[in-house]
Amino acid sequence: MKVLIKNVLVIDPSSGFHNRKLDIGVGDGNIVEIADQISETGFDEIVSGENLCVSAGWVDGGVHYKDPGEEWLENLESLQAAALAGGVTTIVGFPNTHPTVQSKESLSYFKNFSKYNLVQFRNLGAVTKNTEGKDFTDMMDLHFSGAVGFSDGKNPIQSSDILLKTLQYLQPLGTILVNKSEDKYLSMFGQMHEGITSTMLGLKGIPSAAEEIMIMRDLKLLEYSGIKSDKPLLHFSTISTEESVNLIREAKKKGLPVSCDIAAHQLAFTDEALLDFDTNLKVFPPFRGKSDILALKEGLKDGTIDMIVSDHNPLDAEHKNVEFDVADFGVLGIQTLFSVINTYSELSIELIIEKITTSPRKLFGLEDAQIAVGQAANLTVFEVDKVFVFDEKDIKSASKNSPFVGKELKGAAVAVFNNGQFKKVG
């Protein structure tokens, strides 16, 4: 199939076409022509519209797979549909499936699905067996079988010895450790951010210190290891507090090989949004205060925060339509990843695209996606200024636990190209 993208603004600082409005011709999965104007003759599909932009295909570097093991919450087909609707062409998932992603066979399950599909599913391999924090998996075998990094996912590595040995083990492989920053003893039984609002609502709070203490520990262990690297070795997943940003900023200034990300929804809500006990707003880490959001935005602008993820975690009514203190943590996010960032972050479009394309590809060692003639077409076409109200009926996931239903968002994907395939989504 030959597809022509008409009059589209290229957002790709690494490309000589950056910030130019051009026509782009795609044929047989490759970019075959880029010019000021291309004749429509011979093309099977035309992608056109007002104020279109194009970038490398978007990457969501933090997704909670439910398949295999919990397919009623979301299977790979519904996850792909949600990703496509959100303009995402590559997903990096945590290993907390059933069975855990800790063998060649578990990696091949996702590889085989991706082989013939537009969205590519990539995996973080488990650090410890069943992500229980006790015995190591065969990380070298997983690495050479395609794992793009290692993590125990939703289970933070509580053992200092295991964390230190993991860093030492992974450094020669040139891959990355992704750790959730949580002291589980401090956060135990917590329902939301510890503060005035939690006190008013009578809910057990999760203190900022539960996150910050673990970041301090991990940074100290990284420094103690003496490991030097020109690329990040330790990555902090979904940080949420002002002090966390400050700690990582100082670590980077000292030259430690560290990186971090935030969940897009952390830019949209404070803990005060929970006054109505809406369980769709029950997330981990919890929504913090206004000063924390300001710090996250500043960290994105100055490069302290490398990546923005969805932290997509589908849950059904059994987990969400219950009393607040028994509801599970987690929200949908992959379908609204770009829209939420574009609506709430106050970042330039170039910086937004960096956080969901260039940075995750570098961190996880993914293939480059360049906008140049002769390159494979891994592209997302989108509208920056399109304003819409997100409706529950538009949700492509098998679950419906989105905090953005009924919210006005700005920016949406129009079409995606990847793996020799094309789909209009707008």
Catalytic annotation, residues: 311
3-state helix, strand, coil in the chain (%, to 5): 35, 25, 40
Burial class (CB within 10 angstroms; exposed 0-12, middle 13-18, buried 19+) of 19: exposed
Residue for token digits 């960096």?
354
Q: Which tokens sit at 133?
A: 């924090």
Question: How many Å apart are CA 10 and CA 21, to the nearest integer?
Answer: 6
Residue for token digits 């003639």?
373
Closest CA to 340 of 295, 310, 317, 302: 310
For residue 311, the Cα-to-chain-centroid distance in whole angstroms is: 6
Contacts of 291 (CB under 8 A, 6+ apart): 242
CA distances from residue 132 to 103, 107, 114, 126, 167 in whole angstroms, order as listed? 15, 19, 28, 10, 18
Contacts of 5 (CB under 8 A, 6+ apart): 23, 24, 25, 26, 47, 48, 52, 54, 379, 381, 415
Question: What single-letter amino acid sits at 48?
Answer: S
CB atoms within 10 A of CB 344: 19
Contacts of 253 (CB under 8 A, 6+ apart): none
Closest CA to 329 of 396, 405, 290, 274: 274
Q: How many CA atoms lie within 13 A of 232 on its CB side?
A: 28
